[in-house]
Structure 1
Amino acid sequence: MGHAFNGSVVDNEFTQEGDLLFGKVRAKTTCHVGTYTIYYALEIPTASGWRKEGNKIWVDLKEESLIADVNIAFSAVDQQDARKTLAEYDKLDFSTVKKRAADRWKTALSVLQVKGDSDKVDLFYSLLYRSLQSPFVISDEQGNFRGTDGKIHRSKETRYHGWAIWDNYKTQLPLLELIDTEMYEGVVSSIADLYRYGKFDFAGAHEPANSVRTEHAAVVLLDAVKKGYRVDIDGIKDSLIHDTLRYDFKKPDKYLEACYDMWAMSKLFPQNSKTYLERAKSYQAIWNKDFKDLTKRDVDRMSARDMYQGTIRQYRWNVPFDVMGLRKLAGGEENFTQQLDEFYDGYYFNRANEPDMQSLTLYNASKTPWRYQEWIHRIALDTIIQYYFNDNSRGIGAHIDRIYKNEPKAFVRTMDDDAGAMSSWWVLSAIGLQQPLVGEPIFYISVPFFDQIRLENKENPLTIEVPNRSDKTRYIKSIKLNGRDLKRLWITHEELRKGGTLQIESSEIPTDYGRDDPWISHIENN
């Protein structure tokens, strides 16, 4: 047990009843900031004795034992719940338990069905599997769960935990929402619970499961409201407002991120929108001060100016809530386009981490939106140059290979999946959809990697078809939604939810389709 918790066990307490152990393990969270507790019930029928050395438990087997069955159940609630689960599964043999798990995964993965090249299909489901591994269910069958205050609460909805919101709010959470609305209802309520029972940017002393960080939770709640989910914003109003006092405006990267949160607050609380919007707009001053001038010597140095896992050149694009304003700061549409071209054609991006993950969508606000469609395929499928990792700066080593591969180590060096963030980017790209601004229910469209995709979508399934797709047809020639020419390169969440057929005609050469009707975020419209 002592080896299984990220090498970060705080303590392991247990009691013994014959060949049964009942206990709890407390361990440090992923970034070693907070502490979480897992309760367990463990049974080894062939055990002859137990002993504890530090936080490790050793078991002696009966002398005649050649094989040992280990039956174990976990709970985020208490030992009684773990014991109950163990008793239920104790009646089943290993093959039955294994089949149950396989069937559940088959059901979970079948919400998206794709047809096309077998290698891409295999990679798709491998990355979809990775995307679905968190957050974790922390409530029992009666609805009991532990909050971040360490106390037991009860809810009619399933409760989840295990957050990496800073990492995956741009990709994994929008993907989860698209494929499982019932689950996402519980996810959203669980995020709202953080404001009720104790929200920490990273983690606190009473986490009910391993967790990483929760920045941008307000953005996620706004996104859920815009997509029609019930969120008790009034019930957590005071905590949401109090949380703004902890927004970090001291570092250039954090300043831009805090302004994004302030923009979200202006939407959640329109009665105070003027105050929050003014703070959100203040990003312009810091952008001109720190991000405009690319001639300074440190702009390509990882974590320069005390920023987190990114460069000045990468973080400068991180203003998704006001791309119109960002374009103006960059010198207008033509200069904006030239700077994007320099960024991507010069391989200044970093796909080993999230800071510039959505910068590619900015091409839809440029003179050449077709470059978004082109680069989606290049990053997801082609061999490219990667100059940046989490432990270097440009000029210190380079990697030339595909970024995503169907292998145990699926990513480039130092690239974490970060709770499905990276895998979900690929999955969304594969079905031709990316949400450029979490907080506005809009998706940009690109050419999918498959001939046909089916999103179950409950009673309104959505089929995405690319009848003339090939590896060379990476550009959009036309888009039809239920037979009607869409005439744009974006689609609303409401249109996706209504289901039907989205047919994309692809092309081997760039086109101007949708150029005259772009969707570009603009803070002045708020």
Structure 2
Amino acid sequence: MKLRTIFTIGAAIAAVACGKAPQSESLTQWVDMRIGTGGHGHVFMGANVPFGAVQLGPTSIPQTWDWCSGYHVSDTTVIGFSHTHLSGTGIGDLFDVTVMPVIGEVTYARGTEDEPQSGLWSYFSHADEVARPGYYRTRLLRYGIDAELTATNRVGLHRYTFPTSDEAAVVIDLENGGCWDKATETRMEAEGDRVVTGYRYSTGWAKDQKIYFAAEFSKPFTSFELKGENNMYGRASFATTEGEELLLKVAISPVSVENAKENLAAELPDWDFEATAQAADAAWNDELGRVRIETADSSARRIFYTALYHTMIVPSTFCDVNGDYRGADGKTYNAEGAHIYTTFSLWDTYRAAQPLMTLIHPDRMQDIAATMVDIYKQQGKLPVWHLVGNETDCMVGNPGICALADAVLKGYVPNREEAYEALKASAMVPERGMDLRMQYGYIPCDLYNEAVAFDLEYAIADWSVAQVARELGKEEDYAYFLDRSKSYRHLFDPETHFLRGRDSKGGWRTPFDPFSAIHRGDDYCEGNAWQYTWLVPHDVEGLIECFGSKEAFTAKLDSLFTVSSELAGAASPDISGLIGQYAHGNEPSHHVLYFYTMIGQSWKTADKVREVLTTLYHDQPDGLSGNEDAGQMSAWYILSSLGMYQVEPAGGRYFFGSPLFDRAELKVRDGLLTIVAHNNSAENRYIQSVRFNGEEYDKPCIDFESLARGGVLEFEMGSEPKVWYEL
């Protein structure tokens, strides 16, 4: 059976053959939730609303890398339906408060696939699955139970259709979490004969996670018993008739059971499953409607709207309806009218996901930036990779600096002085190699692992601080951080023309192989010298100077795409989506194609952007070339298909590439931004000229403020390379 046939994505797809999507058209029909569930995409499968606290979906038996989201299309096991999941990440966690309907007595454990009775798990068939934004359905083959899921922001709603049985039950599982997550303390109790409350504390990627819940059934249970070792399972028993529907509402809170109850009462006071699913669909349509595209290519339309959907799963809500949330210091705070977020995969998302969000989600950006500043106040530095109130310190550099600086420079932070304090203080924390960098001017490879990767990301963050310092008139700070942002020059080897590890005595690491990558064991992070030599998006002119000439720089950049794609050493599977040694499957390469536009060879950007858009993204489960990474892989597609990309980490210069679609309309801060590509086709992929609001435009990029004000951006396309701008 072909995988294309196993998910319902809406018969209306066939009805829209070409042309502009009408304003009333349902855009959720174009979201194909299979995309990214295969390969190494790691995307979430299940029901949620945009940026919701709840991601309610199936969790499978396997706990290995490709199951970081709890689901992989190659697998057909399910241990239950969990209320929290990650999407696209390279590390697994969460899968909290898992619910499984069963028939008869079961073994209260995760179980193993080679022993069918070893746990309460069941097989399902992809042929029985229906998945669309805000709704999921499957059939549990072991029990003959149909399971349907939908959600509000903080509440998951289950509907289970049972066969006739005196031994029907719904099991709440607090033992099993995501991948490396382990429960440290749990509690569950019945309140009457329809409500169960409790909490789950756990440690994993997030070292100190706490989640509270309140669950309410649509009919009384006949009994409620704690089961399993350490009483981490709760069994609510029922007698059911053939085709009887049992509903369950589960609200979560990061603060308390009482807050979970309040969330439940506020968001889902009734039992109307269809209305809740329709409301979720409407919420997704509203968010997807921020960008409307015109194309005759239905596959590209599916890829686009699925990508847009993937950019709106996180950051996720991390406050209760009353404003309470758990701070990075473990204390309870109140947002006082603001909205608090979590799941900040910033090493990934500062590159494209946030620049996209600043364009189409101006209503959320102030709260996202404020959340980052609050995290700084609570833990003494801006977030690196923040998850449910925990700093994981995952990945290299100071990406929270880039994200906050970008928000400041784009006008989303009212208190710029407070934000600057957070930026500067975070850039000066003497940890994770920064103390060595301040001592030596770079991070010596004999004193710190992944030294080149850390140093380059710190340089990018320093440049971002410098831009805010200049904006605020802090000239001394501007000069200091701008100088520090050039630390990459210490790592440039003029003989090999690579950025490479340098030791504390000034010598180069030997032996040296630019194709070699040793995962978590060399000078780079999920990459090699070929990929990291270009990680200077903030100072392309300075990097060209290192090469000695633009010609030498260009020749080396050209060779990036033509050398062998073979990798030496114990390389990470993250190094994927290879064109030569350009690795689109991982974030450090994402800006590189736009260097050509920056040096006056925009036709090469057009060629390579179109190649990536049409060969490394497709509408199948393995349609992503690497981890989706919390929206970043998808955001690259969105921005690039619209014809632009923010190369520099902060400030908002979007460099032109090659628009894929004939027309797009974006709801931006001050109105509507219309992007039109005249005479556009696979052959006519080269920009011939640009007009903005009717005037000739002779620059290779456009600034954020111009885009955010709205207007009409027109590209005239042609089949011959042409440079239409002045550098």
TM-score, normalisation: structure 1: 0.87
Counterpart contact for 1:164–1:211, Cα < 8 Å = no
3-state DSSP class of the match of 2:344?
Answer: coil
1:426 aligns with 2:604: no
Counterpart contact for 2:405–2:468, Cα < 8 Å = yes
Counterparts of 2:318 and 2:209 in 1: how far apart (Å)? 12
Q: 1:67 to 1:498 in 2, by over 3 A?
A: closer
One-letter identity of the residue aligned with 1:180: H
Identity fraction in percent: 25
Counterparts of 2:413 and 2:498 in 1: how far apart (Å)? 44
3-state DSSP class of the match of 2:522?
Answer: helix
1:285 aligns with 2:490: yes
Counterpart contact for 1:360–1:372, Cα < 8 Å = yes
Q: 1:376 to 1:205 in 2, by over 3 A?
A: closer
- Give the corresponding residue for 1:501: 712
Which moves more between the two structures, 292-301 or 373-382? 292-301
Counterparts of 2:284 and 2:619 in 1: how far apart (Å)? 18
One-letter identity of the residue aligned with 1:455: L
- Give the corresponding residue for 2:253: 75
Which moves more between the two structures, 149-158 or 239-248? 239-248
1:36 aligns with 2:209: yes
- Give the corresponding residue for 1:301: 516
Give the one of 253, 257, 264 matched to 2:457.
257
Give runs of aligned pairs for residues 345-494 of structure 1, distance below 5 A: 345-346=562-563, 347-382=580-615, 403-412=616-625, 415-494=626-705
Report the alpha carbon displacement of residue 60 of structure 1 after superposing the two structures with TM: 3.9
Report the alpha carbon displacement of residue 297 of structure 1 after superposing the two structures with TM: 4.6
After superposition, give the CA deviation of every residue in 1:223-265 in whole Å (9 maximum; x if it has no partner).
1121112253433655544432225334011111111222222
Q: What's the RMSD between the two structures over aligned residues? A: 2.6
- Give the corresponding residue for 1:323: 540
- Give the corresponding residue for 2:237: 61
Q: 1:410 to 1:335 in 2, by over 3 A?
A: same
3-state DSSP class of the match of 2:635?
Answer: helix
3-state DSSP class of the match of 1:69?
Answer: strand
Counterpart contact for 1:77–1:138, Cα < 8 Å = no
Counterpart contact for 1:169–1:438, Cα < 8 Å = yes
Q: 1:204 to 1:85 in 2, by over 3 A?
A: closer
Report the alpha carbon displacement of residue 14 of structure 1 after superposing the two structures with TM: 2.7
Counterparts of 1:362 and 1:463 in 2: how far apart (Å)? 25
1:112 aligns with 2:291: yes
Report the alpha carbon displacement of residue 75 of structure 1 after superposing the two structures with TM: 2.1
Report the alpha carbon displacement of residue 55 of structure 1 after superposing the two structures with TM: 7.0
Q: 1:233 to 1:150 in 2, by over 3 A?
A: farther
Q: 1:404 to 1:466 in 2, by over 3 A?
A: same
- Give the corresponding residue for 1:170: 351
One-letter identity of the residue aligned with 1:288: D
1:144 aligns with 2:320: no
Counterparts of 1:204 and 1:230 in 2: how far apart (Å)? 20
TM-score, normalisation: structure 2: 0.64
3-state DSSP class of the match of 2:620?
Answer: coil
The count of residues paired between Structure 1 and Structure 2 equals 492
3-state DSSP class of the match of 2:492?
Answer: helix
Q: 1:90 to 1:429 in 2, by over 3 A?
A: same
After superposition, give the CA deviation of every residue in 1:474-522 in whole Å (9 maximum; x if it has no partner).
11011111111101221111111121111111111211211xx23xxxx
After superposition, give the CA deviation of every residue in 1:21-78 in whole Å (9 maximum; x if it has no partner).
222223345xx25332222111233532131424742424223355432211122333
Counterparts of 1:373 and 1:256 in 2: how far apart (Å)? 27
- Give the corresponding residue for 1:235: 418
Give the one of 189, 208, 211 matched to 2:370.
189
Counterparts of 1:282 and 1:209 in 2: how far apart (Å)? 26
Report the alpha carbon displacement of residue 285 of structure 1 after superposing the two structures with TM: 1.1
- Give the corresponding residue for 1:216: 399
Which moves more between the two structures, 196-205 or 330-339? 196-205
- Give the corresponding residue for 2:530: 313
Report the alpha carbon displacement of residue 458 of structure 1 after superposing the two structures with TM: 4.8
Counterpart contact for 2:190–2:196, Cα < 8 Å = yes
Which moves more between the two structures, 143-152 or 267-276? 267-276
Counterparts of 2:643 and 2:600 in 1: how far apart (Å)? 21
One-letter identity of the residue aligned with 2:190: Q
Counterpart contact for 1:291–1:313, Cα < 8 Å = no
Counterpart contact for 2:206–2:391, Cα < 8 Å = no
Which moves more between the two structures, 227-236 or 104-113? 227-236
Report the alpha carbon displacement of residue 435 of structure 1 after superposing the two structures with TM: 0.2
Q: 1:368 to 1:204 in 2, by over 3 A?
A: closer
Counterpart contact for 1:146–1:208, Cα < 8 Å = no
3-state DSSP class of the match of 1:339?
Answer: helix
Counterparts of 2:695 and 2:608 in 1: how far apart (Å)? 27
Q: 1:212 to 1:307 in 2, by over 3 A?
A: closer
Counterpart contact for 2:318–2:388, Cα < 8 Å = no
Which moves more between the two structures, 283-292 or 178-187? 283-292
One-letter identity of the residue aligned with 1:16: A
Counterparts of 2:465 and 2:307 in 1: how far apart (Å)? 33
Q: 1:297 to 1:164 in 2, by over 3 A?
A: same
- Give the corresponding residue for 2:272: 93
Q: 1:35 to 1:306 in 2, by over 3 A?
A: farther
Report the alpha carbon displacement of residue 7 of structure 1 after superposing the two structures with TM: 5.2
Counterpart contact for 2:376–2:382, Cα < 8 Å = no
Q: 1:172 to 1:28 in 2, by over 3 A?
A: farther
Give the one of 50, 57, 71 matched to 2:225.
50
Structure 1, gaps ≥5 residues long: 383-402, 519-526
Q: 1:52 to 1:5 in 2, by over 3 A?
A: farther
Report the alpha carbon displacement of residue 209 of structure 1 after superposing the two structures with TM: 10
Flag the structure with larger Rg.
Answer: 2
3-state DSSP class of the match of 2:333?
Answer: strand
Report the alpha carbon displacement of residue 464 of structure 1 after superposing the two structures with TM: 0.5
Q: 1:228 to 1:143 in 2, by over 3 A?
A: same
3-state DSSP class of the match of 1:229?
Answer: coil
One-letter identity of the residue aligned with 2:291: L
Counterpart contact for 1:476–1:507, Cα < 8 Å = yes
Counterpart contact for 2:459–2:484, Cα < 8 Å = yes
Counterparts of 1:157 and 1:211 in 2: how far apart (Å)? 25
One-letter identity of the residue aligned with 1:49: F
- Give the corresponding residue for 2:187: 13
- Give the corresponding residue for 1:272: 477
Q: 1:223 to 1:119 in 2, by over 3 A?
A: same
One-letter identity of the residue aligned with 1:69: L
Which moves more between the two structures, 128-137 or 45-54? 45-54
- Give the corresponding residue for 2:135: none
Counterparts of 1:289 and 1:348 in 2: how far apart (Å)? 20
- Give the corresponding residue for 1:207: 389
Counterparts of 1:75 and 1:33 in 2: how far apart (Å)? 16
Q: Where is the strand percentage greater, Structure 1 or Structure 2?
A: 2
- Give the corresponding residue for 1:24: 199
Which moves more between the two structures, 196-205 or 223-232? 196-205
Counterparts of 1:408 and 1:209 in 2: how far apart (Å)? 31
3-state DSSP class of the match of 1:83?
Answer: helix
Counterparts of 2:387 and 2:713 in 1: how far apart (Å)? 47
3-state DSSP class of the match of 2:371?
Answer: helix
Counterparts of 1:159 and 1:324 in 2: how far apart (Å)? 39
After superposition, give the CA deviation of every residue in 1:124-164 in whole Å (9 maximum; x if it has no partner).
00111011100011123333322211222223221111110
Q: Where is the helix percentage greater, Structure 1 or Structure 2?
A: 1
- Give the corresponding residue for 1:130: 310
Which moves more between the two structures, 93-102 or 278-287? 278-287
Report the alpha carbon displacement of residue 267 of structure 1 after superposing the two structures with TM: 2.9
Q: 1:208 to 1:314 in 2, by over 3 A?
A: closer
Report the alpha carbon displacement of residue 97 of structure 1 after superposing the two structures with TM: 1.1
